[in-house]
């Protein structure tokens, strides 16, 4: 029996499949079964996979009868022989020790699943790659279904950042919705896993590299609300079929339903795109949520205050909610957009402090097409001379000499006042220095706010 079966669902990912496959084949855990489930690719993906399968006996290429992410994963789970099952989406890639580390933890603690944090991967320009950290909370402790049912929100909403015991998936009858395309079917999987979990653990590591190059479209789809509604109905049907009737898990799903209803709304208001199908789906969500409230599944004391207020506005005063969410969507976008627009107006930008904040700021600017980043500087002499995302790190003094009229952005909130005084002492005028205050959130810093630059 292989230690881990890796399921790789694919459809027209020729641009990324080599990098993905190489990362799987480079795993330090070699006792793998690799199931490539292709759904009729027409761009050469299938032929590339045939080449890999001919060279490595661990690889099995399977043709999916349906163009459905859910069907592909269900097929992979049916065919899997491994003790544990992992999933790699074929435009993503993974660190070499991902499966060895997760498997060791899973075996040591007899886990239903072992998971970890991940990176958001973007390549704004050829040869320029950013990996933004997305750690998870509550690492190193044993988790069960009570961990999820006792929280207002799920802390982990991804399925590919871990491995799952095959017997756990089978005994819990966990299956994905086989709706067409890649239509958020992972929702059903993760909620079923959470509600049936006996022993799980999140490691304090980051392994998976989640590609988000097309950031503006990767989180938006014209049928977002309809897809979420279909998943909501599917999950509730699975709960009924599995005999899940206790209040704790039903209340958990009720709270998650609220988030499934509200999550598309900010995007729609930002893009001004709601149409008849979207509005119909949102009305159906309102009916489900009202029924859950009537059954006592949505109590204020079990929800976040903002979540409860938004739920009431959404269900009781839709027009007021739409006005509120329009303002909220603009404020959320401006958190990053104002910084990008301000920096776009500068002739030259010098980033002061070559650390994590600088990486997030550079990624945000480069994703939005800014070409005016002139230099990076840092007080740490050990860093000076090294390269930081294409820029040789200068001392602040050298940066000022080279770019006396540049705009210096302090990428360090902790010591911001001290560093601003240092720049002043070096002759940088007040209007030519500022502090970067963007949130260090991977998804926010990979969004597009200035298309067409």
Chunked in runs of 10, what are the mean pLDDT values of the chain (453 residues)?
A: 98 96 99 98 97 98 96 98 98 98 99 98 90 95 95 89 98 92 85 96 98 55 81 94 94 96 72 70 96 98 95 95 88 91 97 98 96 98 97 98 97 97 97 96 84 46
* pLDDT for 216: 33
Spatial distance between the Cα atoms of 124 and 373, rounded to a whole number of angstroms: 14
* pLDDT for 22: 98
* pLDDT for 451: 54
* pLDDT for 452: 43
Provide the whole-model pTM.
0.92
Place of tokens 């007080």: 379
* pLDDT for 271: 56
**Domains of the chain with bracketed CATH:** 4-216 (3.90.550.10), 226-316 (no CATH), 340-446 (3.40.50.720)
* pLDDT for 218: 38
Length of the chain: 453
DSSP tag of 307: H
Apex CA 354: angle with CA 348 and CA 358, to 5°?
65
Torsion region of 372: left, alpha or beta (phi above 0 gives left; psi -120 to 50 gives alpha): alpha
* pLDDT for 270: 57
* pLDDT for 331: 87
| Closest C-alpha to 184, from 263, 85, 267 | 263
* pLDDT for 453: 41
3-state secondary structure of 193: helix
* pLDDT for 110: 98
Q: How far apart are the first and last CA of the chain?
A: 53
Apex CA 72: angle with CA 67 and CA 73, to 5°?
145
* pLDDT for 217: 38
């Amino acid at each position: 029996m292989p230690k881990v079966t890796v399921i790789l669902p694919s459809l027209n990912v020729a641009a990324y499949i080599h990098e993905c496959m190489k990362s799987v084949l480079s795993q330090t855990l070699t006792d793998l079964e690799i199931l490539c489930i292709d759904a009729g690719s027409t761009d050469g993906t299938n032929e590339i996979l045939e080449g890999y399968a001919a060279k490595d006996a661990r690889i099995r290429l399977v043709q999916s009868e349906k163009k459905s992410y859910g069907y592909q994963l269900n097929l992979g789970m049916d065919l899997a022989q491994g003790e544990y099952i992992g999933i790699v989406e074929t435009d993503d890639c993974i660190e070499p020790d991902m499966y060895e580390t997760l498997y060791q933890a899973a075996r040591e603690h007899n886990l239903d699943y072992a998971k970890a944090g991940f990176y958001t991967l973007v390549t704004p320009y050829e040869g320029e790659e950013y990996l933004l950290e997305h750690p998870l909370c509550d690492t190193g402790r044993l988790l069960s279904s009570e961990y999820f049912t006792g929280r207002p929100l799920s802390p982990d909403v991804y399925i590919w950042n871990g491995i799952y015991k095959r017997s756990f998936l089978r005994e819990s009858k966990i299956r994905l919705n086989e709706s067409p395309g890649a239509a958020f079917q992972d929702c059903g999987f993760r909620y079923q896993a959470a509600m049936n979990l006996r022993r799980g653990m999140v490691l304090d590591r980051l392994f998976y590299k989640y590609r988000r190059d097309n950031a503006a479209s990767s989180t938006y789809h014209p049928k977002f609300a309809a897809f979420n509604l279909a998943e909501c109905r599917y999950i509730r049907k699975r709960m009924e079929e599995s005999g899940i009737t206790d209040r704790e898990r039903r209340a958990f799903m009720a709270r998650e339903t609220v988030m499934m209803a509200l999550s598309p709304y900010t995007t729609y208001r930002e893009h001004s795109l709601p149409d008849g199908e979207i509005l119909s789906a949102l009305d159906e969500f309102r009916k489900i949520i009202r029924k859950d409230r009537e059954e006592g599944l949505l109590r204020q004391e079990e929800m976040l205050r903002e979540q409860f207020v938004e739920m009431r506005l959404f269900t009781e005063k839709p027009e007021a909610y739409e006005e509120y969410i329009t303002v909220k969507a603009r404020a959320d976008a401006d958190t990053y957009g104002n910084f990008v627009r301000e920096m776009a107006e500068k002739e030259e930008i010098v980033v002061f402090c070559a650390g994590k904040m600088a990486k997030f700021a550079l990624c945000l600017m480069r994703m939005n097409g800014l070409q005016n980043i002139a230099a990076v500087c840092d007080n740490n002499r050990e860093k000076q001379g090294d390269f930081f995302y294409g820029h040789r790190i200068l001392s602040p003094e050298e940066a000022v000499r080279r770019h006396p009229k540049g705009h210096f952005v302090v990428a360090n909130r902790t010591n911001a006042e001290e560093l601003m005084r240092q720049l002043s002492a070096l002759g940088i005028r007040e209007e030519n220095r500022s502090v970067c205050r963007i949130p260090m959130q991977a998804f926010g810093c990979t969004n597009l706010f200035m298309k067409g630059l």
